Amino acid sequence: MTNAKATRPEVVVPMTTEEETRPAGGNPAVGRPVVTVRDVDKVYGNGTVALKDVDLTVKEGEFISLLGPSGCGKSTLLRLMAGLGEVSAGKVNWWEQDYSVVGQKGRKLAFVFQNATLMPWARVRKNVRLPLDLNRDKGEEAEQRIDQALEMVGLSKFGDAFPRELSGGMQMRVSIARAMVTGPNLLLMDEPFGALDEMTRNKLNDDLLRLWKDNGWTVVFVTHSVYEAVYLSNRVVVMAARPGRVIDEVPIEAPYPRGQEFRVSTEFAGYCRRVSEALEVASQQGEEAAS
Ligand SMILES: Nc1ncnc2c1ncn2[C@@H]1O[C@H](COP(=O)(O)OP(=O)(O)OP(=O)(O)O)[C@@H](O)[C@H]1O
């Protein structure tokens, strides 16, 4: 991956339509690659090999979860997909093109962190506006986008509130609205609901699936929860540590929309068992490498 220069051309690659990527049942079909990670190594300055020979292709309309023991490189991989940091070897492409071609704006991605990371001194509306301010997007259209983003996360009435006046779940909704406001088509989420209680988390999972479907997003989601990964994803990517690598992929073929019925189904339990077993293998491999 190379750093883009401001003078380089920016190519916005048109997306295919939702109909093309979501056949009957609501599951994503084999769409065009959105992000391609090829033979990627990441070695930090202190010598830690965070990723070794990682290959992963994320396709249009997919909802992929990255799951694995602590330190297996989930966040590192997500950050490289976001263009935050350089690979040590290998390549990351967006829409089959190099960063130097597709450019910052052409990637149209947004990143959601575990903590809502809101500006505590600024009202909700100003927090959501931040990416637009950074892009110098102003005027009526910008205001409409903020309205839409707040409406989508159910916070239309809270634009004038300060973050401290909101619950943890609502703060996370603000964070998602802020990610949505620039109209991304790739959403990278690093344990966004990890700090929330189970009820709130389940609710936000349902909201996220609705937004994913309505907006035709592609999502890569880091989580420690087998249940969350299975519930949300059409594919769970299991990673092992020392060095961080992909060891298994489990397709979750249950149709969307998913709801409470799916959560309590034997199908869900079966997928959770399958993913837990893969996670167990990942943990053992990490421990063996450490001993
Ligand atoms: N900036 C950094 N400098 C040095 N080492 C780092 C840095 N960031 C991460 N690491 C190391 O790289 C490895 C992978 O870290 P990473 O945070 O990507 O894993 P993770 O799977 O997301 O972990 P967790 O589940 O605990 O969040 C770990 O050994 C970590 O200590």
Q: What is the DSSP letter of 97?
A: B
> CA torsion sign, 173 to 85 to 60 to 54?
negative
pLDDT of residue 30: 58
ipTM surpasses cut 0.95? yes
pTM, rounded to two decimals: 0.87
pLDDT of residue 194: 86
| Pairing mode of beta strands 218-222, 63-67 | parallel
- Residue 220 has, within 13 A of its CA and on its CB side, a CA count of 27
Q: CA of 282: how far to CAs of 69, 90, 240, 279, 289, in Å?
A: 7, 23, 5, 5, 11
pLDDT of residue 8: 33
SS3 (DSSP) at 95: coil
Q: CA of 225: how far to CAs of 115, 156, 170, 181, 230, in Å?
A: 17, 30, 21, 28, 9
Distant-in-sequence contacts of 95-101, Cβ < 8 A, 24+ apart: 95/13, 95/32, 95/33, 95/34, 96/32, 96/33, 96/36, 97/11, 97/13, 98/1, 98/2, 99/1, 99/2, 99/3, 99/4, 100/2, 100/4, 100/5, 100/8, 101/8, 101/9, 101/11
Ligand 1, CB cutoff 6 Å, lining residues? 44, 46, 48, 50, 68, 70-76, 244
**CA-closest residue to ligand 1 atom 11:** 50
Q: Which tokens hold the place of 210?
A: 């609705």
For the chain, domains (ranges, CATH) are 32-108+187-193+219-291 (3.40.50.300), 111-184 (no CATH)
pLDDT of residue 10: 35
pLDDT of residue 291: 72
SS3 (DSSP) at 105: helix
- Residue 211 has, within 13 A of its CA and on its CB side, a CA count of 25
Length reported for the chain:
291
**CA-closest residue to ligand 1 atom 25:** 70
Q: Which residue has the tokens 């910052």?
A: 104
| Pairing mode of beta strands 33-43, 49-59 | antiparallel
Ligand 1 centroid to Cα of residue 291, in Å, is 19
Q: pLDDT tens per residue, the chain (291 residues)? A: 333 333 333 333 333 333 334 433 445 555 889 999 999 999 999 999 999 999 999 999 999 999 999 999 999 999 999 988 899 999 999 988 888 788 777 778 889 988 888 999 999 999 999 989 887 777 888 899 999 889 888 899 999 999 999 999 999 999 999 998 988 889 999 998 888 888 888 988 998 999 899 888 899 999 999 999 999 999 999 999 989 999 999 999 999 999 999 999 999 999 999 999 999 999 998 777 777
Atom of ligand 1 nearest to the CA of 46: 4
**CA-closest residue to ligand 1 atom 27:** 70
Ligand 1 centroid to Cα of residue 126, in Å, is 32
Q: Report the 10 Å Cβ neighbour count for 195.
A: 15
Taking alpha carbons only, the member of 174, 181, 113 closest to residue 143 is 181
Residue 248 and residue 281 in contact, taking contact as beta carbons nearer than 8 Å: yes
Atom of ligand 1 nearest to the CA of 244: 14
